[in-house]
């Protein structure tokens, strides 16, 4: 007999017969007829090739081998109940390892500081954060979640993308640099200053600015003097911190925000908004589609969205495209 042919249902009936000390009692508990219970025990004895019960008109007792088989059947049913209980708990409670991939700087500055709070709230979840600036293949890399900053039309197909927060770009400088120079009040004033830009992909030294109160206005386009480009907002920040007179830097707002708040950096042209290649974009949480989102992933998605005051921009709902999985 193989595990494929084990008479599991008959074993359950047998255990109930022993527990009730009668076929009739087991039938009542199982909501079967007495005849059906008797046939079930008979099938089990036939399948195992042994006699399990001594039956008389007035008594019912286990044979020697029946006692041993009964003990094993009880253990089997307890294990089955434990498996169901464990599966139910896993389905309902966030637990297990949650693997996330995020861009390097965004992961360092925005995501990593949020993780201790999440784990304090969900102690049964262990978070593993890896970071890279290339789009991860969730299936191939065994990831539950990827965070990416991109335009909606550049999202990977066949994946669910949930907007987390808007990411903008700002012009900043050290207060000491701005105090020693003429005020910068118009975009054209930038041409008289050394600037540092991100310098990778679309982030070059050609910038477009529009009045913050008129974002649909025709942009002012400038090609900045950028003797230094650094492919990291964190690197740009370090350059300004190391040399106060380095000039003006163009970096992501999530890196600059705390320094603007404590005025260790000042925003240049605060009445203007960057457009074009430096236009605001969205940070998305990207995960595989499916009818059931694991509780650990659902908990992380809800937690991340609760940590930002700007969870979504207009026109960027949860996104999913048809196509092959990535």
pLDDT tens readout for residues 45-97: 999 999 999 988 778 899 999 999 999 998 988 888 888 877 776 667 899 99
Predicted model pTM: 0.66
Identify the band that residue 272 occupies on the pLDDT scale cut at 50, 70 and 90: very high
pLDDT tens by residue, 172-186: 999 999 998 999 999
Reading phi first (left if > 0) and then psi (alpha if -120 to 50, else beta), residue 199 is in: left
Q: pLDDT at residue 321 above 60?
A: no
> In this structure, are residues 142 and 276 in contact, taking their beta carbons and an 8 Å threshold?
no
Q: CA-CA distance, 115 to 7, in Å (whole number)?
A: 48
Neighbours of 124 (CB within 10 A): 14
pLDDT at 325 over 70: no
Residue 14, pLDDT > 90, answer: yes
Grouping H, G, I as helix, E, B as strand and the rest as coil, residue 324 is coil
Token digits of residue 79: 């294990």
* C-alpha distances out from residue 209 to 6, 171, 178, 217, 290, Å: 74, 11, 20, 9, 41
User: What's the mean pLDDT in 32-39?
Assistant: 93
Phi, psi values for residue 148, rounded to 5°: -140, 145
pLDDT in tens, 100-153: 999 999 999 999 999 999 999 999 999 999 999 888 788 788 899 999 998 888
Q: Quickly count helices (H) and strands (E) in the chain.
A: 11, 16
The most distant pair of C-alpha atoms in the chain lies apart, rounded to whole Å, by 110
Q: What is the pLDDT of residue 139?
A: 79
Q: Mean pLDDT, the chain, as a whole number?
A: 88
In order of 109, 211, 323, the CA distances from 234 in angstroms are 9, 27, 35
pLDDT tens per residue, range 199-208: 887 888 999 9
Please report the pLDDT score of residue 154 as a whole number: 82
User: In angstroms, rounded to a whole number, what is the distance separating the alpha carbons of residues 47 and 61?
Assistant: 20
Among candidate residues 123, 259, 249, 120, the one with its CA nearest the CA of residue 194: 249
When pLDDT is cut at 50, 70 and 90, the band that residue 311 belongs to is very low
Encode 44-80: b = buried (16+ Cβ within 10 Å), e = exposed. bbeebeeebbeeeeeebebeeebeebbeebeeeeeee
pLDDT for 15 equals 92
Tell me what percent of the residues of the chain surpass a pLDDT of 70. Answer: 92
Separation of alpha carbons 282 and 167, rounded Å: 6
Backbone angles phi, psi at 273, to 5 degrees: -120, 135
Task: Give the per-residue pLDDT at 55.
Answer: 86
**Domains along the chain?**
3-92 (1.10.10.10), 96-166+281-320 (3.40.190.10), 169-278 (3.40.190.290)
Please report which confidence band the pLDDT of residue 319 belongs to, taking 50, 70 and 90 as the band edges: very low
* pLDDT reported for residue 320: 44
Query: What pLDDT is attached to residue 1?
Result: 57
The reported pLDDT for the residue numbered 309 is 53
């Amino acid at each position: 007999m193989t595990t494929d042919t084990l008479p599991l249902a008959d074993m359950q009936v047998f255990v109930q017969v022993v527990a009730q000390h009668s076929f009739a009692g087991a039938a009542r508990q199982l909501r079967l007829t007495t005849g059906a219970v008797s046939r079930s025990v008979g099938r089990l004895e036939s399948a195992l090739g042994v006699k399990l019960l001594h039956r008389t008109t007035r008594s019912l007792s286990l044979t020697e081998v029946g006692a041993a088989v009964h003990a094993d059947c009880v253990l089997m049913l307890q294990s089955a109940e434990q498996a169901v209980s464990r599966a139910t708990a896993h389905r309902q409670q966030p637990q297990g390892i949650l693997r996330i991939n995020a861009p390097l700087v965004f992961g360092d500055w925005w995501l990593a500081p949020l993780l201790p709070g999440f784990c304090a709230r969900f102690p049964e979840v262990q978070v593993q954060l890896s970071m890279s600036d290339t789009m991860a293949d969730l299936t191939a890399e065994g990831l539950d979640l990827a965070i990416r900053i991109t335009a909606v039309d550049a999202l990977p197909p066949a994946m669910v993308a949930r907007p987390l927060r808007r990411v903008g770009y700002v012009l900043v400088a050290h207060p000491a640099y701005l105090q020693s120079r003429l005020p910068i009040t118009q975009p054209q004033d930038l041409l008289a200053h050394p600037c540092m830009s991100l310098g990778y992909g679309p982030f070059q030294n050609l910038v477009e600015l529009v009045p913050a109160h008129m974002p649909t206005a025709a942009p002012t386009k400038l090609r900045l003097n950028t003797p230094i480009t650094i492919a990291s907002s964190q690197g740009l920040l370090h350059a300004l911190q190391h040399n106060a007179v380095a000039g003006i830097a163009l970096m992501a707002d999530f890196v600059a925000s705390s320094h603007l708040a404590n005025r260790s950096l000042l925003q240049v042209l605060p009445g203007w908004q960057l457009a074009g290649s430096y236009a605001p974009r969205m940070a998305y949480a990207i995960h595989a589609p499916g009818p059931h989102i694991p509780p650990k992933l659902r908990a992380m998605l809800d937690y991340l969205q609760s940590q930002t005051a700007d969870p979504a921009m207009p026109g960027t709902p949860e996104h999913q495209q048809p196509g092959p999985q990535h």
